[in-house]
Chain A
Amino acid sequence: MDELVETLKKQIIEALSLEESTPDDIDPAAALFGAGLGLDSIDALELVVMVEKHYGIRITELEIGRQAFSSVNTLADFIRKNREPCGESE
């Protein structure tokens, strides 16, 4: 089990107020946007805030964000590659 993926699921649920979802409901490989969880453009911006808040990573380019947020797995990969050595909130 990937701890970062599980943590991210909880953080996404909290950041986007997905009250009716549990971490088990979120398939880490499935698309977050469009068909997946049905998130929209404001949710994408909210995830940018979430990533900075918990991992200290600032996403400034739209395209970088778009790729990072494809799925929970891609987001986990992105965070592993870019996060600062200290300051994570796990």
Chain B
Amino acid sequence: MEIDRRDFMKLAGLGGIVFASGLAGRIAGATRPKQEEFYFVQLSDTHIGFDGPKVNPDARGTLKKAVAAVNSLDQKPDFIVFTGDLTHTTDDVKERRGRMAQFQDIAGQLNVTTVHYMAGEHDAALDRGDAYQEFFGKLNYTFDHKGVHFIVLDNVSDPGAIVGEAQLKWLQSDLKRLKRDAPIVVLTHRPLFDLYPQWDWATADARSVIDSLMPYRNVTVFYGHIHQEHHYMTGHIAHHAAKSLMFPLPAPGSVPKRAPIPWDAASPYKGLGYREIGAEVKNARYEISELAIQGA
């Protein structure tokens, strides 16, 4: 069943965000809201190299399905972001690069001009991002798109899950040149708040990052790491976690142990997915549409 995005249920409003969910993306005939100036797609936590048939028997095929789905969108996104954990970690440095090459082969099939990558701790924490940078470039950077300033923050290449003093200074220097009402989107891997530190769902020096961002009125954070949709506000700053494309994880603190949720044969790919984010720049308003992975 295909659902026109105009028919998606509007679930809630939070920090200038409208949520929507459905099975299909921007299909033929769908009309973009008049105010929306562009949209992009967020894919996250693809964990290429993960092997666990009870968790995902289609570990080698799930990202390929997502790529095919994105390629079939009638309206091409302006760009795509991957918010970390592109690969599943390994101590074997050769295998690590092998997994990155596999990921690159699949992501290279995306039929879009621009893809922005960022690292997760699985990609970068064991070698401080050396292999990652060989394949995907810098760990932290900025880019601008149609009036929105995007900041990619690295909170994973230090194994202690910090942004660190040097990057913090870099961030503050970047922010200094922006107007206080500039639309800013921060893309990162770990939550920039203490979501559930007992499960390592935090960034140790997140407070310093948030303090630096707080004077800016239109800041939104999109991240990964927790393998589920999650929405949270720190003051006026909204944080939106994306689903994984390998395995879902339980809600924070809902079970004693943080372990992947087993595959449900009756509902394949349940809990996995990606999202479209429509940007209405003038009002720093974003519309998130959560999209599921379709079975073969």
A and B co-occur in one complex = no
- Which residues of A does B touch, CB under 8 Å? none
- Which residues of B does A touch, CB under 8 Å? none
